[in-house]
Amino acid sequence: MKKLALAVGISAALLSGAVSAHQAGDVIVRAGGALVIANSQSKTTTDTKVNLEVNNNAQLGLTGTYMFTDNLGVELLAATPFSHKISATIPALKDHPQLGGFYDLGNVVKLKQLPPSLYVQYYFLDKDAGSRPYIGAGLNYTRFFDAESTNPAITNLKVKKHSFGPVVNAGIDIKLTDNLYFNTAMWYTHIRTKAQFSALNADHEVKIKLDPIVFFTGLAYRF
């Protein structure tokens, strides 16, 4: 009887060690598909109103998390550069008898952006749970680059390169093996930039506001 009790105790101890997860000192790396829903708005600060709309894009998303405690971690979000097309319309030309054809200019600009973000996360449930939902909040930095005109009507293009804003995050890790997890997550942030360009014999300046939602699905590995 004592031998059986000892065997059960040893087995329980080994099993407990095997299922522990997301504990203090762990590093968790995640990789998968990331889709940016741009949710863009624009405001013209010069005489002729120009509406600019930023299109969505999907890339490879990467995150790395360090667990300070069993429930508290800090995560860095990275990705391969997102590439966005920007379309333009000029409302004042919509009903113009000669220039109405220039109302919708279609895609006029393409650019790339990287949105590294750093934020603190709180993980719910016990470290041994089979799934760990979490929430987070921190700071996003977005860097715009490689902006170029794709329409000959747009010249002298300049885009503000830097944007800082808050970011919030939510997700869940679902255990597949001792160290491998299925992960799905989302982020919401504020991004601001400004485009200056010449078109239709005039200079224009348009402020662009993005409130993107980023959706992520992939795998996580715990070291």
Q: Structure tokens of 12?
A: 């329980």
81 vs 86: CA distance, rounded Å: 16
Tell me which residue has tokens 């059986």. Answer: 4
Give the mean pLDDT of the chain: 88
**pTM, whole model, 2 decimals?**
0.84
Which of these ranges, 29-33, 87-91, 171-175, 205-209, has the smallest mean pLDDT?
87-91
b/e map 42-68, b = 16+ CB within 10 Å = bebeeeeebbbbbeebebebbbebebe
Query: How confident is residue 106, by pLDDT bands cut at 50, 70 and 90?
Result: confident
Structural domain count of the chain: 1
Give me the mean pLDDT over the 41-66 stretch. 94
On whether the CB atoms of residues 168 and 197 are closer than 8 A, the answer is no
Which contacts qualify for 93-98: CB closer than 8 Å, 24 or more apart? none
Residues 43 and 206 sit within 8 Å (Cβ to Cβ): yes
Find where tokens 């405001």 sit. Answer: 43
How high is the pLDDT of residue 95?
A: 60
Give the 3-state secondary structure of residue 214.
strand
pLDDT of 16 strictly over 70? no
Q: Which amino acid is at 137?
A: A
Which tops the pLDDT comparison, 154 or 1?
154
Whole domain around residue 111: which residue ranges?
2-222
Mean pLDDT of 29-42: 96
What is the CATH classification number for the domain harbouring 207?
2.40.160.20
Cβ pair 193, 41 in contact under 8 A = no
Partners of 31 in the beta sheet? 62, 219
What is the share, in percent, of the chain residues with pLDDT greater than 90? Answer: 74
Judge whether residue 168 has pLDDT over 70. yes
Q: Is the pLDDT of residue 26 over 90?
A: yes
pLDDT above 70 for 83 = yes
